[in-house]
Amino acid sequence: MSTEDPQAAGLAALAGLIADRTRAACLLALLDGRAWTAGELARHAGVAPSTVSEHLDRLVSGGLLVQERQGRHRYVRLAGARVAQLVEDLAAQVSPAEVRRPPRGLREASAGAAMARGRTCYDHLAGRLGITVTDALTGRGLLRQDTGFALTEAGVEWFASAGIPLDLSGRRPLARACLDWTERRPHLAGASGAALCRRALEAGWCERVGSGRAVRITPVGEQVLSDLLGIPSGALR
Q: Domains in the chain and their CATH numbers?
A: 6-79 (1.10.10.10), 103-229 (no CATH)
Q: What is the pLDDT of residue 102?
A: 53
Q: How many CA atoms, within 13 angstroms, populate the side-chain half-sphere of residue 211?
A: 8
Which residue, 183, 179, 220, 182, is CA-closest to 200? 220
Q: What is the pLDDT of residue 210?
A: 76
Q: What is the pLDDT of residue 104?
A: 61
Tens digits of pLDDT across the chain (237 residues): 456 777 888 889 899 999 999 999 999 999 888 899 999 999 989 999 989 999 999 999 999 999 988 888 889 999 988 898 899 888 877 765 555 555 566 565 566 788 889 999 889 999 999 999 999 999 999 999 988 899 999 999 999 999 999 987 777 889 999 888 788 889 999 999 999 999 999 999 999 987 678 899 999 999 999 999 999 977 877
CB atoms within 10 A of CB 49: 13
Q: What is the pLDDT of residue 233?
A: 79
Q: What is the pLDDT of residue 85?
A: 84
Residue pair 25/34 in contact by the 8 Å Cβ criterion: no
For 8, 15, 52, 175, 215, the CA distances from 205, given in Å and listed in that order, are 45, 37, 35, 21, 10
Who's near 6: CB < 8 A, 6+ residues apart? none
Q: What is the pLDDT of residue 180?
A: 86
Q: What is the pLDDT of residue 207?
A: 94
Who's near 237: CB < 8 A, 6+ residues apart? 117, 216, 217, 222
> How far is it, in rounded angstroms, from Cα 126 to Cα 209?
14
> How far is it, in rounded angstroms, from Cα 228 to Cα 206?
15
- 36-37-43-47 Cα dihedral, nearest 10 degrees: 110
CB atoms within 10 A of CB 191: 22
Could you tell me the pTM of the whole model? 0.75
